[in-house]
Amino acid sequence: MDFSFTPEQLAFREQVLKFSAKEIAPLAEEMDLKAEWSWEAWRKMGDFGLLGLHYPEEYGGAGADVVTTCVAGEALGEGGADSGLMLAYGAHSFLCGDTILRHGTPEQKKKYLPGIASGKLVGAMGLTEPGAGSDAAAIATRADRVGDKWRLNGTKMFITNGPIADVVVVFAVTNKEAGPMGISGFIVEKDTPGFRVGKVLHKMNVRASQTSELIFDNAEVPAENLLGQEGMGFVVALGALEWDRSALLAPGIGAARKLLRDCTKYSNERKQFGRPIFEFQAIQHKLADMRIYCETARLLLYRVAWKKDQGQPLNHLEASIAKLYVGEYGLAFGNDAVQIHGGYGLMHEYPVERFYRDVKLGSIGGGTSEIQRMIIARTLPGDK
């Protein structure tokens, strides 16, 4: 047992913290308020080398291990990066890019990954549909083989980066009779005829990330854009979901650490009844609970990350535990943070208002808390 980070990881953390605080954080408030995508922030992240950090160097990455990748994500959040930007980064680098990295052919990797790593190409992943969320195996989008092409028909829903994506990893049914083993993954490019961005969706939180429907109306995709083996799409998607339940949590945990510091400072400055509100036990107890959350969430995250680095890529149980904890306890954390700020906590001017909205994504996105509990329950001894 050893809970330490390497000196290199700690030094890199400092660099990313500084970068995030100086270059990204100042854009956060406006991005969220206007629900506007920031190419400026995106370019800066790409230039810093954060978008393909864990990809091999030949594909424009730095070959970072998973722990270091999470250290970077945490530092981005802790530096004050907007959660919408962080979600876009997660969907782009992991759900799209990493899926191509792990399952793509050498040609596919060469074609897409350097662009994804630099941020010149924006990636997205399309799994969820209007009628299939938690029950992902029930997707209805079809892909039929016609000559040397696949013809896609269907609609994807709640797709992060949908409106701005150049490359989308899409899952569709290629063999209806085979159930979950009849689903395949495809790489779909923006200008594919028959593929278009549907309704752009306006959200409660992570507003700077762009979300939409994706519509496939006889969209024809070249045969070589099949991602992984035919019929193995569900397995491909599960790998992506595991990133959803690990590395994608890192920026939020970093944001929580920053917020805890902010709350501590605020409670020391804000005076009521003639003294700093910190001196009231009701405030102290909230800060203590927030501290416990930060300590615990981090350990659960890095356990999954470290095990990924040890060659345990599909660690569903521990990834689900991390996701469930961060999602559920994060709600209480956000509530305490707003409560400490009182009326100011409801104002856009304070990042705590944004955090409170953003944190709700944690119990829904990447598999609801209920789904995480189902996954955990499946591992229990005895028959279910």
Partner 1 sequence: MNYEYNTEQQAAFKTFAKLCREQIAPHAKEMDRGGPASEARLRANLVRLGEFGYLGMSYPAAYGGGERPLVEAVVFNEELSRACPSTFLSAGASVGLGGGPILRFGSEAQKKRWLPELAAGRAIGALGLTEPDCGSDLASLRTRARETADGWVLNGTKMFITNGPICDFAVVLAKIEKDGKEAGMGLFLVERGTKGFSTGAPLEKMGYHGSPTGELIFEDCALPREALVGEAGHGFGQALRTLQGGRVGMAAGAMGVAQACFDESVKYANQRKTFGHKIIKYQEISFKIADMKMMLDAGRLLTARAAWLLDIGDAEADVVGRCAKIFASEAATKISGWAVQIHGGYGYMNEFAVERLYREAKLGEIGEGANEIQRIVIAQDCLSRWT
Among 43, 284, 347, 348, binds partner 1 (CB under 8 A): 284
Residue 137 to residue 25: CA distance in whole angstroms: 38
170 binds partner 1 (CB under 8 A): no
H or E segment and range at residue 188: strand 183-189
250 binds partner 1 (CB under 8 A): no
Among 37, 150, 243, 302, binds partner 1 (CB under 8 A): 302
Among 153, 175, 296, 339, binds partner 1 (CB under 8 A): 296
333 binds partner 1 (CB under 8 A): no
292 binds partner 1 (CB under 8 A): yes
120 binds partner 1 (CB under 8 A): no
Which range touches partner 1 (CB under 8 A), out of 122-130, 227-235, 246-254, 293-301? 293-301
Among 78, 242, 318, 358, binds partner 1 (CB under 8 A): 318
373 binds partner 1 (CB under 8 A): yes
Residue 43 to residue 39: CA distance in whole angstroms: 6
299 binds partner 1 (CB under 8 A): yes
| Cβ proximity of 227 and 102 under 8 Å | no
Residues between 42 and 71 with contacts to partner 1, criterion CB under 8 A = 67
Which range touches partner 1 (CB under 8 A), out of 109-117, 158-166, 318-326, 337-345? 318-326
Nearest to 45 by CA among 30, 32, 27, 63: 27
To partner 1, the closest distance from the beta carbon of 75 in angstroms equals: 16
Which range touches partner 1 (CB under 8 A), out of 180-188, 207-215, 261-269, 344-352? 261-269
Length of the chain: 384
381 binds partner 1 (CB under 8 A): yes
Contacts of 271 (CB under 8 A, 6+ apart): 277
Among 94, 216, 243, 325, binds partner 1 (CB under 8 A): 325
Give the pair of three-digit tokens for residue 208: 């700077």
Place of tokens 């501290």: 291
Kindly write down the DSSP assignment for every residue of 258-287, as one continuous string. HHHHHHHHHHHH-EETTEEGGGSHHHHHHH
* Measured CA distances, 184 to 49, 116, 125, 143, 294 (Å): 31, 22, 13, 8, 38
To partner 1, the closest distance from the beta carbon of 370 in angstroms equals: 7
> Buried b vs exposed e over 177-187: b needs ≥16 C-beta within 10 Å?
eeebbbbbbbb
Among 287, 331, 332, 364, binds partner 1 (CB under 8 A): 287
360 binds partner 1 (CB under 8 A): no
Among 56, 102, 306, 332, binds partner 1 (CB under 8 A): 306
What DSSP character marks residue 21?
A: I
Residue 107 to residue 101: CA distance in whole angstroms: 11
Q: Which residue, 167 or 300, has its beta carbon nearer to partner 1?
A: 300
110 binds partner 1 (CB under 8 A): no
Binding-site size, partner 1 (CB under 8 A): 46
Among 22, 43, 265, 348, binds partner 1 (CB under 8 A): 265
275 binds partner 1 (CB under 8 A): no
3 binds partner 1 (CB under 8 A): yes
Give the pair of three-digit tokens for residue 20: 């995030």
374 binds partner 1 (CB under 8 A): yes
Which range touches partner 1 (CB under 8 A), out of 87-95, 127-135, 198-206, 371-379? 371-379
H or E segment and range at residue 217: strand 211-222
Among 324, 340, 352, 359, binds partner 1 (CB under 8 A): 324
H or E segment and range at residue 189: strand 183-189
| Cβ proximity of 226 and 152 under 8 Å | no
372 binds partner 1 (CB under 8 A): yes
First vs last C-alpha separation in the chain: 33
User: Rounded to the nearest 5 degrees, what angle is found at the Cα of 183, between the Cα atoms of 179 and 186?
Assistant: 175
Residue 334 to residue 356: CA distance in whole angstroms: 5
**Residues contributing to the site for partner 1 (CB under 8 A):** 1-6, 67, 260-261, 264-265, 268, 278, 281, 283-285, 287-289, 291-292, 295-296, 299-300, 302-303, 306-307, 318, 321, 324-325, 370, 372-374, 376-377, 379-384
